[in-house]
Structure 1
Amino acid sequence: MTQAATARDRKMRLCLIGAGAIGQRVAEFVGQRLAQSMELVAIAERPGINVQPWWTGPVLSSPTELAGMRPDIVLEAASRQAVKEWGEAALRCARKFIICSASALTDDGLREALLTTAHTSGSQLVVPHGALGGLHALSAASLLPLDQVTHIISKPPAAWKGTAAETGFDLSNLPIATTLFEGSAREAASSYPANANAVVLSSLAGIGLDRTLVRLVADPAARRNIHEVTALGAFGALSFRIENEPMPTNAKTSDMAALSLVKLLESEAGTLVV
């Protein structure tokens, strides 16, 4: 019997960091679609956060508890701080650490520490494409020199509430589409960490955090979260536009962010990967 066949004889063990909107959505789909091949064995959350009634299994509060769960995959769906707190432990005890909070990787020291731990542990740090389904093309194009990459994010004004935009704009009374920020992806992810994880993804796939131009827009006419990515380079030119429905329980993100994670988990457990 091959090693791969032996691995499929048991369910893969998944630990989830974060029990918010994305985490709950992932847990729901894992139970519905992957019950035969994957098992959610624990959820990590901050002390005082109630994960019941939808989860009644083990709840972890410290990275030192991860190893005891013997995870194959640890998936972060919490915050950039969670990546910092749990990342190295996850990479040491699981073969893959998947992070939603890509903005954490704007911290060069943290990124290097995680990559070093992954190298020495023989594990992988995985950054899923999230709401940006066209990143495969951009990533392939980056094998040749790229001249420029631009990423514009337009969302309804309500999606920008609770962010740095509130200090300079009256989000409840914007008459037209208004640019809240224009600058590098690194700056965008630092100033708008909850909204701009996607720009880190396009940067990692393309020409990096400091060369990717980002524009963040509050548009009263928008009914969806819209991403427009364009790139020019030796490969030619590409552009893609994605309109994602906001998640009902969190307007700052979309169902596609959770669905992309589920698809990634399916590729880990399945026999046909597309």
Structure 2
Amino acid sequence: MNTSTILDATSGVASDSADAASSEQRIAIIGMGAMGRRVVSSLRAGPFGRIAIAGLDPYADANALKVDLDVDLFANLDDLMAWAPTVVVECAGHTAVEGVVAQCLERGVDAIVASVGALSSDELRARLHQAQEIGGSELIVVSGAIGGLDALSAARGSGIESVRYVGRKPPRAWSGTPADGEFDLAAIDKPTVIFDGTAAESARLYPKNANVTAAVAIAGIGFDKTHVTMMADPSVNKNVHEVEAKGPFGQLNIRLENNPLPDNPKTSWLAALSIEDAILRRLQHVI
């Protein structure tokens, strides 16, 4: 269901409320690459289009972002904090979670994290938890390229016996990963398993592909108990994610076939949409 459509279809009350939310909330995007720009573009086109937005990215073009998206750009965290964001949205990868998000939480600024794979580190999870306690802030982790995790999380109440994740991508999509050195990706002509093990092991060996498996592990039974199989499959042209969970509650099966983000074929469009949804839900809560 499209949140923006619902708000646009209402009377002037929604518009007035959106303006009020815009004046109270200040959103900072960490990383102004394809995903960060996509998130800002979506916000600008929706009912909260006039909300204050800043970016943290030392490599982005400040003039272009200001002209095209009305984004104030900062190159360091101290300057961004002086801008006084009410929430930061991480769109920059694992190192941003480690190096920036914890500091924001400690300073009392809520954070929305897209790079869930970073949370495979016990040490980092503990640090982020401590940062929330120090700053009285909130950490929101989005589901990214996978869905149905609310049901998986709810199933924990009855006790989950097993969780299995299977990821399939075209062989070329595994270039630049450890599979690139172990397999002749160009020669793969049938579905081939490139990794089989735990979510903890997959996050360590395939960090660029860890976001989905990490999200499943966090929602379910943890990194060491979640079984992961990753495949190079020439029969698919999208990123395919399958989750199976069993327990006293019954059996859960999830399958998604994700199209890539138009501006970045290595990123699922659904991952960007999940960030946009988290921001909109936060803004609607203000209304």
TM-score (norm 1): 0.90
Distance in 2, Cα, partners of 1:49 & 1:98: 21
Distance in 1, Cα, partners of 2:241 & 2:21: 37
**Which residue identity is paired with 1:186?**
A
Asked if 1:14 corresponds to 2:14, the answer is: no
Give deviations 1:235-272, integer Å, cap 9, x for gaps: 11111101111223333321100011111111111259
Query: Per the alignment, do residues 67 and 54 of structure 1 end up closer, same or farther by CA in structure 2, a change over 3 Å counting?
Result: closer
Q: Report if aligned partners of 2:32, 2:91 keep a CA contact under 8 Å in 1.
A: yes
CA RMSD of aligned residues (A): 2.3
Q: Which has the higher helix share?
A: 2
Identity of aligned residues (%): 36
Equivalent residues in 2 for 1:103-182, closer than 5 Å: 103-182=117-196
Q: Report if aligned partners of 1:71, 1:93 keep a CA contact under 8 Å in 2.
A: no
Query: Per the alignment, do residues 146 and 37 of structure 1 end up closer, same or farther by CA in structure 2, a change over 3 Å counting?
Result: farther
Deviation at 1:66, TM superposition (A): 3.1
| Paired residue secondary structure (1:162) | coil
Equivalent residues in 2 for 1:191-210, closer than 5 Å: 191-210=205-224
Query: Per the alignment, do residues 68 and 217 of structure 1 end up closer, same or farther by CA in structure 2, a change over 3 Å counting?
Result: same
Q: Which of 62, 66, 90 lines up with 1:76 in the alignment?
A: 90
Give deviations 1:30-85, integer Å, cap 9, x for gaps: 11114357331x2112x344466344543223232332121111011111111111
Equivalent residues in 2 for 1:1-274, closer than 5 Å: 8=21, 10-36=23-49, 38-40=51-53, 42-45=54-57, 47-50=58-61, 53-55=64-66, 57-270=71-284
Distance in 2, Cα, partners of 1:49 & 1:39: 18
Q: Report if aligned partners of 2:44, 2:50 keep a CA contact under 8 Å in 1.
A: no
Give deviations 1:167-204, integer Å, cap 9, x for gaps: 10111221111111111111111211122211000000
Q: Report if aligned partners of 2:21, 2:286 keep a CA contact under 8 Å in 1.
A: no
Deviation at 1:126, TM superposition (A): 1.1
Deviation at 1:5, TM superposition (A): 11
Query: Per the alignment, do residues 62 and 238 of structure 1 end up closer, same or farther by CA in structure 2, a change over 3 Å counting?
Result: same
Give deviations 1:177-233, integer Å, cap 9, x for gaps: 111111111111121112221100000000001110011111111111111000011
Query: Per the alignment, do residues 50 and 5 of structure 1 end up closer, same or farther by CA in structure 2, a change over 3 Å counting?
Result: closer
**Which residue identity is paired with 2:30?**
I
Task: Using the TM superposition, name which of 200-209 and 155-164 deviates more.
Answer: 155-164
**Which residue identity is paired with 1:28?**
S
Distance in 1, Cα, partners of 2:187 & 2:125: 39
Distance in 1, Cα, partners of 2:124 & 2:22: 36
Distance in 2, Cα, partners of 1:59 & 1:204: 33
**Which residue identity is paired with 1:232?**
K
TM-score (norm 2): 0.86
Query: Per the alignment, do residues 160 and 143 of structure 1 end up closer, same or farther by CA in structure 2, a change over 3 Å counting?
Result: same
**Structure 2: 5+ residue runs without aligned partners?**
1-16
Distance in 1, Cα, partners of 2:172 & 2:47: 34
**Structure 1: 5+ residue runs without aligned partners?**
none
Deviation at 1:8, TM superposition (A): 3.5
Distance in 2, Cα, partners of 1:139 & 1:55: 40
Task: Using the TM superposition, name which of 227-236 and 86-95 deviates more.
Answer: 86-95
Alignment partner, residue 3 of structure 2: none
Aligned length: 268
**Which residue identity is paired with 2:162?**
Q
Distance in 2, Cα, partners of 1:19 & 1:223: 27
